[in-house]
Amino acid sequence: MNTPSGKAVQSTHNNSDSQLHNGIGLMLLGTSIVPIMDAVAKHLGDTMSPIQITWGRFLFQFIIMACALSVTLGPQALVPKEPLKHAIRGLLLAAATLCFFWSLRSLPLADAIAIFFVQPMILTLISALVLKETIGWHRRIAVCFGFIGALLIIKPGTDTFTLASVLPLIAAVFFASYLAMTRAVANIDHPATMQFASGLSATIALSLVLLLSLQWPESSFAPSMPSLIEWGWLVVIGAIAAGGHLLVVMAMNRAPASALAPFGYVEIIAATVLGWLFFNDWPDRWSWLGITIIVVSGFYVYLREQRVKSNFFEDT
C-alpha cells in the first residue's frame, strides 16, 4: 500500500490553501463590483424608467454571455437542456431586478441592498414550504430576526415609509424563488449556460413589457430614447451583471460555499460607500441596527444549514 510522502501532503495542502484564497479573492471582487451596477441604475433612474434600465441590463448581459460562450465553450453551449425551467428562472430574476431597480429611485443604495439581503431567510421559508425541507427552531428564530432587521430599515408607520421601502423585500422574494429554481437545475447545464438562458428569457419578457408600456406614454414606466451616454451606461450595467455573477461562480468552483458566505455581505459595505460618495446617502442609526441584524441572521442561517447538511448536530 503506497502512502503519500510529507512533501506530497504539503503540496496538496498548499494547493488547497491557494484555491481557497483565490476563491475568496474572486468572491470579494464579484460582490464589490455588483453594487456599482446598482449605483449606475440609481443614477439612470432620474431620466429612464425602471423597466427600460432592467431591459438594458439583461439585453447586454445576454449579448456578452452569448459572445463569451460561443468563443469558450462553442455554440452548442447556448442551448440549455431544460429551456422551460431556465425560462422560469429568467422571469423570476427579471421580476426581482425590476423591483430592486424601481426601489432605487427613492431608497438609499445601502438600505435597498440591506433589505434585499433578507433573501437567505426567504429561501429558508421556501425550502420549508415548497421543497418540504425540515427547518429547526434555530433557523426559525434567525429568520424572524432577519425580518425584524428589515422592518427597522423599512420603518412601517412612519413618515419615511413608502411603497419603495417594500420593493426590495418583494425583489428578495422573487430572487429567493429564482435560487430555489436554480437548485432544481443546478447539475443539468454549465453555470454559464444557465446564466445565458435565464438572461435570454428575461430579455424577451422585458422587451414585451417595454412594448406594452408604450401604450401609457405619461406613466413613469414609459420608455424614453436613451442618449449615447445612457446607452453606454446600460452596456456597463450588462457587463457588470455578467462579470460579477461569473466571478461568484468561479469563486464557488474554487472554495466551499460555507467559506465564501461571509464575503457576500461585502456588497452592503460597498453599497454604503458608493451611496455616500455619489448620492450623499448615509444610513441612520435604525438602519444600521437593521443592517447588522440582517447580516448576523443571514450568516447564522447559512452556517446552520451547512452544519445540518454536514451532520454536525441535530437541527430540531
Residue 231: is its pLDDT beyond 50? yes
pLDDT (0 to 100) of residue 158: 62
Measured distance CA(78)–CA(211) in Å, rounded: 26
CB atoms within 10 A of CB 129: 10
In this prediction, residues 304-312 reach a mean pLDDT of 59
Res. 15 pLDDT band, cuts 50 70 90: low
Give the Cα-Cα-Cα angle 299, 305, 306 (nearest 5 degrees). Answer: 90
Question: Which class for 277: exposed (0-12), middle (13-18), buried (19 or more C-beta within 10 A)?
Answer: exposed
Choose among 284, 291, 270: nearest CA to 146: 291
Q: What's the one-letter identity of residue 259? A: A
Alpha-carbon distance of 305 to 251, in angstroms, equals 20
Those residues with Cβ within 8 angstroms of residue 73's Cβ, 6 or more apart along the chain or in another chain: 190, 192, 193
302, pLDDT greater than 80: no
3-class SS string, the chain: CCCCCHHHHHHHHHHHHHHHHHHHHHHHHHHHHHHHHHHHHHHHCCCCCHHHHHHHHHHHHHHHHHHHHHHHCCHHHHCCCCHHHHHHHHHHHHHHHHHHHHHCCCCCHHHHHHHHCCHHHHHHHHHHHCCCCCCCHHHHHHHHHHHHHHHHHHCCCCCCCCHHHHHHHHHHHHHHHHHHHHHHHCCCCCHHHHHHHHHHHHHHHHHHHHHHHCCCCCCCCCCCCCCHHHHHHHHHHHHHHHHHHHHHHHHHCCCCHHHHHHHHHHHHHHHHHHHHHHHCCCCCHHHHHHHHHHHHHHHHHHHHHHHHHCCCCCCC
- 257 compared with 40, residue with greater pLDDT: 40
In the numeric block, which cell numbers belong to residue 84? 422551460
- Domain positions in the chain are 20-309
Q: Return the closest-CA partner of residue 237 out of 68, 27, 36, 24.
A: 36
Distance CA 107, CA 169 (A): 12
Short-list 108, 88, 31, 56, CA closest to 291: 108
Confidence of residue 151 (pLDDT cuts 50, 70, 90): confident
pLDDT tens, residue by residue, 191-217:
778 878 888 999 999 999 998 888 877
- Rounded-to-integer distance, Cα 153 and Cα 165, Å: 8
Identity of residue 201? S
**Rounded distance, CA 179 to CA 235, Å?**
25
Which amino acid, residue 148? I
Q: How many CA atoms are closer than 13 Å to the CA of 293, on its beta-carbon side?
A: 21
The per-residue pLDDT for range 104-135, each reduced to its tens digit, is 988 888 888 888 888 877 877 777 776 666 66
The chain-wide mean pLDDT, for the chain, equals 80
Quick: pLDDT tens for 158-204: 666 677 889 999 999 998 888 778 777 767 777 778 878 888 999 99
Radius of gyration of the chain (CA): 21
pLDDT (0 to 100) of residue 54: 95
Give me the percent of the chain exceeding a pLDDT of 90: 21
- Whether 307 shows a pLDDT value over 50: the answer reads yes
